[in-house]
Amino acid sequence: MSIESSAGRAFAPGHITGFFEMHDDPDPRRKGSTGCGVVIDGGIDTIVTRGVGKTEVYLDGASVKADTTCSLIEQLVDFPVHVNCTSSIPIGCGFGASAAGSLSTAYALNDAFSLGLTSNQLVEAVHIAEVSNGSGMGDVEGQYFGGVPIRKVPGCPPYGVLDRVPSPSFEVHCIVLGELSTGSVLNDAGLMRDINSAGRSALRSLLARPTVTNFMEISKQFTLKCGLASDRVMDAIEAVGAAGGMASQAMLGDTVFACSVEETKKDVFDALSTFAEVTTYNVTSCYEHPVKF
């Protein structure tokens, strides 16, 4: 329901990718990534109203360029929109912020202006905006699916095929050490060859044993193979391992995400704290059970 006439509000969660493979295709709906990640309870909360003159996007109070969100809006409506995003995830650090900002905008527009679109139609519009701007390749599919989504076939519905690592809810602890531009990695053909070959075998291994522990282990192996990690990222991953937890690099960011069983949670948190401020998010999932990886 709209919060007032011609205003809409929606939240979309962040998504951290552990490993991925890119798939090119002339049809943007089929172009995208396969891989696996986690959907977190931090994300972007967006309010939209009809704009005056031109579309404007504000993020945490400041005006931003937001090309992805602007291309999404152009697909859905033919009038200017005022977009006000509030984020509880870092931007440009591997949390899928461009997709979360665009997906929340899509839901809010659908509500505010009674567009009558389904979730799949909104996801398709965001997916097209993401791949045509090179800001993401599969985050939006993960975000709408939730939990620990496995992207088995690239693209938006009905082309993309998703599944999930079955798991109760658990926490992920994150540290951001810097920024990594998604575009600069995706446009580097040499780097992408290594990433794609590592991503393909990672997906095969995960599907053979789809558990959170295996996801974390495979993501770490992927991080080691594709060489995107800074020294500090590698040191933090090692420190978490020594503290009894599991950690990997958030793709594509200069960011580490970690999880652990209850017994080592404090040690893992303390280990990460020596590198940077730790933010803890919850990964919601399909069933409830005391966490036991």
Ligand X SMILES: Nc1ncnc2c1ncn2[C@@H]1O[C@H](COP(=O)(O)OP(=O)(O)OP(=O)(O)O)[C@@H](O)[C@H]1O
Q: Which residues contact ligand PAF (rule: CB under 6 A)?
A: 17, 20, 33, 35, 136-139, 182, 251-252
- Output the smallest distance, CB 136 to ligand PAF, in A: 4
Task: Name the residue nearer to ligand PAF (CB basis): 206 or 239.
Answer: 206
CA dist 177 and 273 (Å) reads 12
List of residues 6+ apart from 219 with CB closer than 8 A: 18, 19, 36, 202, 248, 249
> Residue 36 — φ and ψ, nearest 5°?
-145, 150
- Beta carbon of residue 2, minimum distance to ligand X (angstroms, whole number): 20
In the complex with ligand X, the residue whose CB is nearer, 108 or 216, is: 108
CA 7 vs CA 73, 157, 158, 161, 236: distances in Å = 14, 27, 30, 33, 43
Please state the closest distance from residue 255 (CB atom) to ligand PAF, in A. 11
104 vs 182 by CB, closer to ligand PAF: 182
Residue 33 touches which of ligand X, ligand PAF, none (CB < 5 to 8 A by kind)?
Answer: ligand PAF
Binding site residues, ligand X, CB under 6 A: 44, 57, 59, 64-66, 68-69, 85, 91-98, 101-102, 105, 135-136, 139, 181-182, 252-253
Q: 99-113 burial string, b = 16+ CB within 10 Å, else e?
A: bbbbbbbbbbbbbbb
Cis bond upstream, residue 109 (ω within 30):
no
CB of 202 to ligand PAF, least distance (A): 12
Residue 95 CB, nearest distance to ligand PAF (Å)? 9
From the list ligand PAF, ligand X, none, pick the one residue 217 interacts with, judged by a Cβ distance below 5 to 8 Å according to partner type: none
Task: With beta carbons less than 8 A apart as the criterion, state whether 68 and 130 touch.
Answer: yes
Distance CA 245, CA 247 (A): 7
Nearer to ligand PAF, 138 or 155 (CB): 138
